[in-house]
Amino acid sequence: MRKRESSIITFIALFVFILFVFILRDSGWSKGMRSIFEQILSPLQSFALSVSTLPSNLSTNKQLEKLQKENRNLLSRQAELERLRQDNAALNDQFALVNPKPSLLIPAKIVGMPQFVPGITYPDEIILGIGSLDGIKEGLAVVSKDQLIGKILRTSEHRSVAMLISNKNSSITVKNSATGALGLLKGMGGRDMILDNVVLSESLNISDIIVTKGDQNENGIGIAPDLVVGKIVSVSKKASDLFQSASVKSLTDVTKLPVVFVLNQ
Amino acid sequence: MKAGILLLILFVFLFLEGSVTFVPLVFDAILVLYVLKREAWIFTLAFFAGLMLDVVYVRQFGQTSLFFLASLFLVFLYERKYEIKTKEFVFLFSFLAGGAYLYYFNRTILVTQTLLNSLAVLVLFLALSWKRNQIF
**CA end-to-end span of chain A:** 62
Closest C-alpha to A163, from A149, A150, A147: A150
Residue pLDDT, tens place only, B86-134: 888 999 999 999 889 888 887 665 788 788 889 988 988 888 777 555 5
Nearest to A37 among B19, B47, B52 (CB): B52
Closest C-alpha to B57, from A159, A44, A63: A159
**Gap from B16 CA to chain A (nearest CA, Å):** 7
Nearest to B43 among A11, A118, A160 (CB): A11
Q: CB distance from B18 to chain A under 8 Å?
A: yes
- The CA-atom distances, in angstroms, between A221 and each of A139, A142, A218, A224, B35 are 6, 11, 7, 9, 49
Q: What percent of chain A has pLDDT over 70?
A: 84
Residue of chain B nearest A169, judged by CA positions: B107
Q: CB distance from B76 to chain A under 8 Å?
A: yes
Instruction: Sort A219 into a burial class: Cβ within 10 Å, 0-12 / 13-18 / 19+.
Output: exposed
Instruction: Sort A70 into a burial class: Cβ within 10 Å, 0-12 / 13-18 / 19+.
Output: exposed
Q: CB distance from B69 to chain A under 8 Å?
A: yes
Pick A41 or A109 by higher pLDDT.
Answer: A109
The residue among A25, A115, A169 with the most chain B CBs within 10 A of its CB, best to mutate, is: A115
**Gap from A51 CA to chain B (nearest CA, Å):** 10
Residue pLDDT, tens place only, A236-251: 888 888 889 999 998 8
The model's pTM is 0.67
Give the separation between CA A21 and CA A3, rounded to whole angstroms: 27
Show the DSSP H helices in B20-110 as ranges: 25-37, 41-56, 63-78, 87-106
How high does pLDDT run on average in chain A?
Answer: 81
Q: Under a CB-based contact definition with an 8 Å cutoff, are residues A135 and A106 in contact?
A: yes
- Return the H-helix or E-strand segment holding A214: none
Q: Under a CB-based contact definition with an 8 Å cutoff, are residues A34 and B55 in contact?
A: yes
The residue among B58, B109, B113 with the most chain A CBs within 10 A of its CB, best to mutate, is: B58
Q: CB distance from B1 to chain A under 8 Å?
A: no
A180 phi and psi angles, rounded to 5 deg: 80, 5
**Gap from B126 CA to chain A (nearest CA, Å):** 24
Q: Do A7 and B38 touch (CB under 8 A)?
A: yes
